[in-house]
Each structure stands twice: as C-alpha cells, then as structure tokens.
C-alpha cells in the first residue's frame, strides 16, 4: 500500500518521482560535486555539502542544522564514508520534515465529529491558490466527500471567475457574491450553506494580496469570527499555499502569513517545474508547520498528499 495510503498507488508515486526530477537532478549534481574524489566525509566535504544544500534552496538556517548533525555523526562514528552520506542525509532530512499531528488527509478523509470540515485557504496571487482549491475539491469528491466552495476573494473579479470554472469542472457547488462584496459575508454564507446541505468539506478562498500584517490579520480575523458564529471551532484548517518554484521568496511569504494568522498547514505548488524543491525543507524546518499537499503537475490528480518518507525516497531515488 505504501506510505501514501489507499488512494495513492503506483501512479501517484510515479507522479511524485517525475515531479521532483528537476529538484533531484539539481540536488544530486551539487552533492556529487561536493564529494567528488573523496572516500571519507571530512571538513572539505562538509564545506562543499553546505554549499550544495544552500544552492539547492534548502536555506542557510536549515543547511546549518543538517551540517551540524552530520558533523556530530562523523565525530561519533570516527569514520564515515562518502558512500554513507546519502543514507545519513536522508535520515536528517526526514527528521527536519514535520509530521502532521493527525492523519485525516492521508486518504482525503476528514476527522470524525467535524462536519462540515472547514478549510480556510490563504496565499498571495499567482501561487496556484485557486488551482489548489480546485484540485482539493476534486480529490475530496473522488474520496466520496461532498464539497462546497466559498469565493471570499471578492477584491479580484478573476478570482471568483476562476473558482467558478473549477466549481463547474469538478461538479462542486460554489457560494459567491459580486466583486467588492464583504469577504466575511461570503464566508458566513458558505459555512451556513455547508451546514444546511450537510456537506462534508467546506473550502473558502481568501484575498490573494499580501497586505501589511495588521490589515491581513484584521481581514482574516473577521472571516474567522463570522465563521465561528455558525461553527464555533472552525476553521478547522488554515492552509497557506506557496509556490515552490519561487524558492526563498516562498519562505518570505510564509513569514508574512504566519505572522498575520495561525497557519496550520502548507500546500506547496509547482514543484514539477522547478529545481528549487529544497525550499520544502527550509519552510518545514523554520516554521514547524506540516506540509500536507504538494503540487507536481497540471492534472487534477497531481495534487498529492505529502508524506516525508515518500518525498525523501523520491528525492534520493537514483534511477530515472
């Protein structure tokens, strides 16, 4: 069955392998150069490895953490061959990636007792936020869940139009109002409708502008408050969507949003078109927020439930 669970088989694993190919090529090219001509892991290898990890967009803070742990391993074991380095790196990277505290997304199921399960989606324009919401709707529906979308990004006409297209494409109903309407009112109507319809999952889009922190906090805070008038413990998830292809810029966006609201999960998109997938490690390490989904292609099936074991396995897979 594999780590991904019952809905993720050979096809999904192949999508992950293919989606991470550019990152893997970049990653391994740099690591191979770092250890070229060496038989043991010495100070020069570690310096080269540090440079390679930073070059793969793992980030300085996360790289230093990995290198420190490898140095300790080398000191304890006295002799570590460069052939062992891949194994050690895999172990340390798995240790950095955050495990989700619950398993509800493992097969696009939802926690018992939370119906509708309300997901508030945040992120700047252009990161694939609307596409991610559409793919989520498709996959939850495929898993047998009823879904309702809420178009609370009312500042941009295209946002409502795009979400409407995904609604039609996936056969999922949508709650929307004219451009310029109060986002809180849309969110309230969506959740209220979700309760009335006995919907399993409610997914609410929010404005994709990176405001100043105070304004963003006020806006998202208002949406949360009106949602809680209907369901006191909602939203059950605040999901930040980040574009993996932007590398360290995605890290900066994560800083802005985590400072403004209580982000509980991450979805990282566009990993198939970039060699900067190492940023997944930087984000997971710095913010200690679980990555729950990754986008590795254009198809609706190419939004995958994230599993750190499968991710690392694909990253270090030598064939292909």
CB 238 within 8 A of CB 264: yes
Q: Compute the distance between CA of residue 294 and CA of residue 306 in angstroms, rounded to an integer.
A: 6
**pTM across the whole model:** 0.88
Q: Are strands 303-305 and 201-205 parallel, antiparallel or unpaired?
A: unpaired
Residues of the chain with CATH 3.40.50.300: 104-307
CATH fold of 104-307: Rossmann fold (3.40.50)
> How open is the CA angle 152-158-159, to the nearest 5 degrees?
30
Alpha-carbon Rg for the chain, nearest whole angstrom, is 21
3-state helix, strand, coil in the chain (%, to 5): 55, 10, 35
Q: What length does the chain have?
A: 320
Which CATH number fits the domain 10-96, given the four candidates 3.40.50.720, 3.40.50.300, 1.20.120.140, 3.50.50.60? 1.20.120.140
Residues of the chain with CATH 1.20.120.140: 10-96
pLDDT at 229: 96
Q: Compute the distance between CA of residue 24 and CA of residue 275 in angstroms, rounded to an integer.
A: 7
> Per-residue confidence of the chain (320 residues) as pLDDT tens digits?
333 444 446 777 788 878 778 877 777 777 777 777 778 888 888 888 898 888 878 888 999 999 998 888 888 877 778 778 878 888 888 888 876 654 456 678 888 889 999 999 999 888 989 999 999 999 999 999 999 999 999 888 788 999 999 999 999 999 999 988 999 999 999 999 999 999 999 999 998 776 566 677 788 889 999 999 999 999 999 999 999 888 888 888 888 888 888 999 999 998 887 777 788 888 888 888 888 898 888 888 888 888 888 888 887 775 44
Residue closest to 66 by CA, chosen among 285, 265, 314, 216: 285
Residue closest to 149 by CA, chosen among 176, 122, 169: 176
């Amino acid at each position: 069955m594999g780590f991904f669970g019952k809905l993720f088989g050979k096809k999904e694993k192949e999508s992950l392998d293919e989606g991470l190919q550019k990152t893997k090529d970049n990653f391994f090219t740099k690591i191979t150069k770092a250890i070229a001509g060496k038989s043991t892991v010495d100070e020069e290898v570690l310096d080269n490895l540090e440079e390679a990890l930073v070059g793969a967009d793992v980030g300085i803070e996360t790289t230093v953490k990995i290198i420190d742990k490898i140095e300790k391993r080398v000191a304890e074991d006295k002799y570590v061959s460069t052939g062992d380095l891949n194994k050690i790196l895999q172990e340390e990277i798995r240790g950095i990636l955050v495990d989700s505290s619950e398993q509800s997304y493992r097969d696009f199921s939802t926690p018992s007792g939370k119906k509708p399960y309300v997901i508030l989606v945040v992120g700047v324009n252009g990161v694939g936020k609307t596409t991610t919401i559409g793919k989520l709707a498709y996959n939850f529906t495929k898993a047998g869940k009823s879904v309702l979308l809420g178009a609370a990004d009312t500042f941009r006409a295209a946002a409502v139009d795009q979400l409407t297209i995904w609604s039609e494409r996936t056969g999922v109903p949508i709650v929307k109002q004219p451009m310029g309407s109060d986002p809180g009112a849309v969110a309230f109507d969506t959740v209220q409708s979700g309760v009335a319809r006995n919907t399993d999952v409610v997914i609410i889009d929010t404005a994709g502008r990176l405001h100043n922190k105070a304004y963003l906090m006020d806006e998202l805070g208002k949406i949360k408050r009106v949602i809680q008038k209907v369901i006191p413990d909602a939203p059950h998830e605040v999901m930040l969507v980040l574009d993996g292809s932007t590398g360290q810029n995605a890290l900066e966006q994560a800083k802005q949003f985590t400072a403004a609201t209580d982000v509980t999960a991450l979805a990282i998109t566009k990993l198939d078109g970039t060699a900067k997938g190492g940023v997944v490690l930087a984000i997971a390490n710095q913010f200690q927020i679980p990555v729950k989904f990754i986008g590795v292609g254009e198809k609706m099936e190419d939004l995958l439930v994230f599993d750190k074991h499968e991710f690392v396995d694909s990253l270090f897979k030598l064939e292909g």
